[in-house]
Amino acid sequence: MPAMKTVHFYLVRHGQTRLNRLKRLQGVTNSRLTHKGREAARNLGTQLKDMDFEAVYTSDLKRTQDTANFILEKNRYAFDIQPLKGLREVDFGRLEEMKNKKLIPLLVKKFGFFKVIKAVLGHNRFRDLVDMFAELEGTSQAETYDSMTSRIIETLTDIGSQYQTRGGNILIVSHGLVLSSFIDSLEKNQLPIMLLKNASVSNVDFEKGKFKVVKINQKG
């Protein structure tokens, strides 16, 4: 059996979108990148321009693919970007595109002020918030925390396993909540209260079937 080498994941949250700017809940609904989002992706691309990537994966949502293309403008990467449904954001069901200022009162009404505050600030904030959204949505269309984290861990494990005999750098462009929850599942409370920043990069290594967080939330 060949020796297993380290796979270096560069996990990037997509650039700012119109729905991000409007402070609306954005999951599987797509929204175009803003000028700020495009420029932030280009700036990150400048930082990564000399990086040799073995592969580039995005979710199947266009905002991640656009972000990846802007990042790669100055890079020598010559292969196709590979979109995967497993890298998409959590599905918020009928709550998609709801304004934050409307969503928060609904959460407080259903769960109570103190439970919502605990969810935002607590040790299990990503789990609690995602599951609150799913319960509030009420149709079973919205994804639960366990479903989301199982999906992203399985997807990244599959990718890492494909490259572990030769190792190398893999660029992943995905989404704020799914990437934040993935990193939080590896190292509890290493993230800020808010999600990973738009167009930020976090480094996670994969070796012998295990993930290790290296850096979090670095800006380009």
Spatial CB neighbours of 146, under 8 Å, sequence gap ≥ 6: none
- Rounded to an integer, the average pLDDT of 75-88 is 95
Residue 53 pLDDT class (50, 70, 90 cuts)? very high
CA distance 111 to 134: 13
Whether residue 14 is annotated as binding a ligand: the answer is yes
Each domain of the chain, given as residue ranges in start order, spans 7-93+143-219
pLDDT at 186 exceeding the cut of 80 = yes
**pLDDT for 220:** 64
Instruction: Choose among 142, 140, 138, 139: nearest CA to 177.
Output: 142
Catalytic residues: 14, 89
Grade residue 180 by pLDDT with cuts at 50, 70 and 90: very high
pLDDT band at 97 (very low <50, low <70, confident <90, very high): very high
Is 203 annotated as belonging to a binding site? no
| 15 assigned to a ligand binding site | yes
pTM: 0.95
Closest CA to 219 of 40, 65, 1: 40
pLDDT above 90 covers a percentage of the chain that reads 85
| Rounded-to-integer distance, Cα 105 and Cα 128, Å | 16
127 marked among binding-site residues? no
Residue 122 pLDDT exceeds 90: no
139 annotated to bind ligand = no
Q: How much is the pLDDT for 219? A: 80
Q: Is the pLDDT of residue 190 over 90?
A: no
| H-run or E-run covering 58 | strand 53-59
User: Which one-letter amino acid corresponds to residue 95?
Assistant: L
Mean pLDDT of 77-93: 96
User: 59 pLDDT band (50/70/90 cuts)?
Assistant: very high
Query: Is 16 within any annotated ligand binding site?
Result: yes
Query: Which of 3.80.30.20, 3.40.50.450, 3.40.50.1240, 3.10.290.10 would CATH assign to domain 7-93+143-219?
Result: 3.40.50.1240
- Residue 186 is labelled as binding a ligand: no
pLDDT reading at 129 higher than 70:
yes
Higher confidence at residue 120 or residue 20? 20
